[in-house]
Amino acid sequence: MTETTVSLLIHGETLILHPERALIWPDRRTVIVADTHFGKTSHFGRHGIAVPKGADDADRQRLTQLVTSLQARRLIVLGDFLHAPLPGGTVEAHDLQMWVEELATFLDIHVVAGNHDLHATKLPPIHWWQSEYVDSPFCFIHDATCARPIGGELFTVSGHIHPVVRLRSLGKSTLRVPIFWQKPTGLILPSFGFFTGGFAIKALRGDRIFGVGSSGIVPF
């Protein structure tokens, strides 16, 4: 891969920030993504808003390609796996099930439930975690602000916020860049789905921010 990545050393473990808006834990052959919001385009479609469904398909292809090229053994989704409950018996529900089953043949899929997953059908081959999934030294959670104080020095890895920063380019145009937002106690991932918005954040002193650029990860 020619794209630039950035490695972080946290509690003795190396984590790689990947420009596909994913986090990699190479020692455990784990790929971590947040806020995939699968089925968002079809949810819009069911309500009369015409969003091309290509976005959803492309997200799944992108994720498949990422885990196969890295030969990952485990995929962790930090919540909001689905955008809204998928009605059973639909083409989309079937497609998603097939895709999950195919992935499950060569890796473990763990999903920490997010606010959008509350009423979703929990697809079988996936390991669902109700509030958090702990694999020391990390605590994988959807929304870090909801983290319960857990014993030990766990580092939270979370999503939910869809963090972006606004960059002013020349003139009046602004550019929104998805970011990895590193705080002293945790790391917040950008949303993985293409058709997901972003929340412009204000970083505090001591935070580090890594932008997802078209050619790789850019530390700010």
Partner 1 sequence: MGSENDDRLNRARACFSARGQVPFQFQEETWAAYWAGQSGLLNAATGTGKTMAAWLGPVLDTEEDKGPPGIRVVWVTPLRALARDLERALIEPLQSLGSAWRVEQRTGDTSSAKRARQKTRPPHALITTPESLSLLLTQSGAAQAFSNVQALIVDEWHEFLGTKRGVQMELVAARLRAVNPRLRIWGLSATLPDLGGAMRVLLGPSMKGRLIRAPLSKRYEIDSLLPESIERFPWAGHLGLKMLPQVLERLDRAGTTLVFTNTRSQAELWYQAIITARLDWLTSTAIHHGSIDAKIRRRVEEGLKAGNLRCVVCTSSLDLGVDFPPVEQVLQIGSPKGVARLLQRAGRSGHKPGEVSRATIVPTLALELLECVAARHAIMQMNLEPRTGMTLALDVLAQHLVTLAIGGGFEATEALAEVRSTHAFERISDVQWAWVLDFITRGGSALQGYPQFRRVSLVDSRFVVHAADLIRRHRQNVGTITSNVSIALKWMKGGTLGQVEESFIGRLRPNDVFIFGGRALKLVRVRDCIAYVRVAATSTRFVPRWQGTRLPLSASLGSELLEALSRYAKGAAIDPEFGVLRPLLDLQTQWSVMPTPERLLVEVLENREGFHLFAFPFQGRFINEGIGSLMALRAARDHPRTFCITTNEYGFELLCEERFEISETHLRRWLSPTDLLADLLASVNVSDLARRQFRDIARIAGLVDSGTPRQSKTARQLQTSSGLMFDVLERYDAGNLLLEQSRREVLEGQLDHRALSESLTRIAAQVLCIARPGRYTPLAFPLWAERLQTQTLSTETWQKRVEREAKKLERLAR
Q: Which parts of this chain interact with partner 1 (CB under 8 A)?
A: 41-55, 58, 83-84, 90-92, 116, 170-171, 173, 176, 194-197
Minimum separation from the CB atom of position 108 to partner 1 (A): 29
Minimum separation from the CB atom of position 85 to partner 1 (A): 10
β-bridge pairing 174-183 and 138-141: unpaired
Task: With beta carbons less than 8 A apart as the criterion, state whether 167 and 179 touch.
Answer: no
- Token pair listed for 175: 């550019």
Q: Which is nearer to partner 1, 18 or 116 (CB)?
A: 116
End-to-end CA distance of the chain: 22
Phi–psi pair at 18, nearest 5 degrees: -110, 140
Minimum separation from the CB atom of position 124 to partner 1 (A): 23
Q: Which is nearer to partner 1, 50 or 204 (CB)?
A: 50
Minimum separation from the CB atom of position 41 to partner 1 (A): 8
Nearest to 27 by CA among 136, 129, 181, 143: 136
Minimum separation from the CB atom of position 50 to partner 1 (A): 3
Q: Which is nearer to partner 1, 58 or 104 (CB)?
A: 58
Residue with tokens 């929990």: 122
Q: What's the CA gap between 99 and 102, in Å, rounded?
A: 5
Q: Would you put residue 12 in left (φ > 0), alpha (ψ -120 to 50) or beta? A: left
Under DSSP, is residue 139 helix (H, G, I), strand (E, B) or coil? strand
Q: Which is nearer to partner 1, 48 or 184 (CB)?
A: 48
Q: What's the CA gap between 70 and 140, in Å, rounded?
A: 20
Q: Which is nearer to partner 1, 47 or 205 (CB)?
A: 47
Minimum separation from the CB atom of position 219 to partner 1 (A): 22
Q: Which is nearer to partner 1, 48 or 152 (CB)?
A: 48
